[in-house]
Amino acid sequence: MRPSRFLVLLIAVLAACDDENDLGLGVGAGERFTASMTGAAVRPIPVGTTATATASFVVKEPSIGSSTSSIGFEISTSQLTSVTAAHIHLGGSAVTTGPILVTLFTNTNDTTITASQLVGGSFTEANIGNGVSLDSLVRLMRSGNAFVDLHSRSSVLSIVRGQIVPNGGTAPLDRFAVQSMTGAKEQPLPVPTSATGSATFELLAGNSVRFDVKVAGLTGATMAHIHTAPADSVGPIAVTLFSGTTATGPLTGTLANGTFSGSNIELPGMTLDSLLTLMRLGRAYVNVHTSTRPNGEIRGQIEPVSVLP
């Protein structure tokens, strides 16, 4: 999906979910936001570093004689001597990289960073890329669906990163979805079936993952698992999501929901962190088995998302 289409859909979902219509009232002057950046928040693979950074943002009213609102910002760093760029990106915490919305800092010559304050300033709607309005950016910041990252020459992606949230708020953790499970996605051969399914996953505080698996028109479900492999391969079982003592069905609705943690991972040597990394890379999938298709009737890859469907 093109970034511009993804952004339109994401903002539409956020607005639809806003029961109090807070998102549709325009920018709020004085609103403050923050992002706490660490290497642990870098995706898809966390960066091992003790360096940290903090970004703060405030929505400003138009100055006298102007009708243009702006957002002031400041970024401070700790234990960082090399920073080549700082950006605001579109995306939730599980997304590896998203479109750059605002460039906050550039240092193309990689001049050594000596001061704790990296940069400060302000930007207006004219400085926001990808056709995003200032109001839309504030919506993304309110919901934790934009992030700040700092780049250095030593890191291909980011060296530290953090989601932008309202002051005092908590950033949403990683979210994933299987948008569609079908028989056509089974490997090594597709399965002729009209059954379909979907699944969502959300990382919770305390290192557990909440899951929900739904199916439609599925008869005789016996098991559902997370497996580790790309879309064109068959991989081992990592987590059991459902195991029925008797075949269930026909079923349209929730097959299984609950939570799992690292202790539920069945693949020897795999940790929850390593499983989450595979999920961020699209290298894990859900497979639902039935009594007539014991190797799997419907399947779909797990992908990172900003908003759960």
Using DSSP's 3-state secondary structure scheme, residue 21 falls into coil
Q: Which of 207, 243, 204, 244 is nearest to 225 (CA)?
A: 243
Structure tokens at 217: 């028109």
Exposed e or buried b per residue across 12-36, where buried means at least 16 C-beta atoms within 10 angstroms of its C-beta: ebbeeeeeeeebeeebeeebebbbb
Res 219: pLDDT: 95
Exposed e or buried b per residue across 55-69, where buried means at least 16 C-beta atoms within 10 angstroms of its C-beta: bbbbbbeeeeeeeeb
Expressed as residue numbers, the domain containing 267 is 175-305
Average confidence score pLDDT of the chain: 91
pLDDT band at 10 (very low <50, low <70, confident <90, very high): low
Which residue, of 166, 193, 210, is where some domain finishes?
Answer: 166
157-168: pLDDT as tens digits:
899 999 999 999
Is the CB of residue 118 less than 8 Å from the CB of residue 105? yes
Res 59: pLDDT: 96
Q: What is the DSSP string of 239-302?
A: EEEEEEEEEE-SEEEEEEEEEEEGGG--STT--HHHHHHHHHTT-EEEEEEESS-TT-SEEEE-
Q: Which of 102, 94, 109 is nearest to 282 (CA)?
A: 94
- If asked whether residues 19 and 162 sit together in one domain, one would say yes
- If asked whether residues 15 and 130 sit together in one domain, one would say yes
Task: Pinpoint the alpha helices (H) of the chain.
Answer: 3-16, 134-142, 272-280
Which residue, of 166, 194, 211, is where some domain finishes?
Answer: 166
Question: How many degrees, rounded to 5, is the angle at CA 13 between CA 12 and CA 15?
Answer: 65
> Residue 27 above 90 pLDDT?
no
Structure tokens at 131: 């056709």
Res 155: pLDDT: 76
Q: Based on the structure, what is the number of domains in the chain?
A: 2
- If asked whether residues 151 and 199 sit together in one domain, one would say no
268 Cβ contact partners less than 8 Å away, ≥ 6 residues apart: none
223-267: pLDDT as tens digits:
999 999 999 999 999 999 999 877 777 899 999 999 999 999 999
- If asked whether residues 180 and 162 sit together in one domain, one would say no
2 Cβ contact partners less than 8 Å away, ≥ 6 residues apart: none
Element spanning 204, H or E: strand 196-204
φ, ψ for residue 307, nearest 5 deg: -130, 130
Structure tokens at 216: 């439609």
- If asked whether residues 148 and 12 sit together in one domain, one would say yes
What is the widest separation between alpha-carbon atoms in the chain?
73
- If asked whether residues 197 and 140 sit together in one domain, one would say no
The average pLDDT across 180-204 equals: 98
50-101: pLDDT as tens digits:
999 999 999 998 877 788 999 999 999 999 999 999 999 999 999 998 999 9
Q: What is the pTM of this model?
A: 0.85
Distance CA 279, CA 304 (A): 7
- If asked whether residues 276 and 222 sit together in one domain, one would say yes
pLDDT band at 28 (very low <50, low <70, confident <90, very high): low
Distance CA 180, CA 261 (A): 24
- If asked whether residues 291 and 262 sit together in one domain, one would say yes
CATH of the domain at 33: 2.60.40
Is the CB of residue 274 less than 8 Å from the CB of residue 60? no
The average pLDDT across 153-158 equals: 81
Reported for 66-72, long-range contacts at CB under 8 A and 24+ positions apart, including other chains, are 68/124, 68/125, 69/27, 69/29, 69/124, 69/125, 69/134, 70/122, 70/123, 70/124, 70/134, 71/122, 71/123, 71/124, 71/134, 71/137, 71/138, 72/120, 72/121, 72/122
- If asked whether residues 138 and 182 sit together in one domain, one would say no
Which residue, of 115, 144, 166, is where some domain finishes?
Answer: 166
The average pLDDT across 282-306 equals: 97
- If asked whether residues 190 and 272 sit together in one domain, one would say yes
Q: What share of the chain is helix, strand, coil (3-state, %, to 5)?
A: 15, 40, 40
Using DSSP's 3-state secondary structure scheme, residue 12 falls into helix
Res 20: pLDDT: 40
Res 198: pLDDT: 98
- If asked whether residues 162 and 179 sit together in one domain, one would say no
- If asked whether residues 11 and 125 sit together in one domain, one would say yes
